[in-house]
Amino acid sequence: MVPLSYYLVLSGFLFACGVTGFLIKRNIITIFMSIELMLNGVNLSFVAFAAHWHAVKGELAGLVPLSGQVFVFFVMVVAAAEAAVGLAIIIAVYRTRETLNVDQVNLLKL
């Protein structure tokens, strides 16, 4: 029996690592991977809350059971769409500027 709070602490740590990577990393691809790490942290709390709701069933009337797990799929869909479009943008940026360092990508128009 693992308390719900343990899962939430792990989820929060992963999210904090993602935010830190988003802020301190300078490679645009690594920044993108930090966003994926944040989404994974959020997914963990979705699944943990779904399991928690299942354990305390009856107290929270009006909620669809296991909807937390379905939200994880929607988050995955958004992450996949974001990865496809974002990596295409990265390729377009690299084609015009020939750099992946975000410090040198500071103009919208060349």
Q: Which is nearer to another protein, 61 or 99 (CB)?
A: 99
Q: What's the token pair of residue 105?
A: 């990508």
Q: Which is nearer to another protein, 61 or 98 (CB)?
A: 98
In sequence order, what are the beta bridge partners of 27? 101
What values do phi and psi take at 107, rounded to 5?
-125, 135
Please state the closest distance from residue 110 (CB atom) to another protein, in A: 5
Please state the closest distance from residue 51 (CB atom) to another protein, in A: 4
Please state the closest distance from residue 6 (CB atom) to another protein, in A: 6
| DSSP letter (8 states) at residue 104 | S
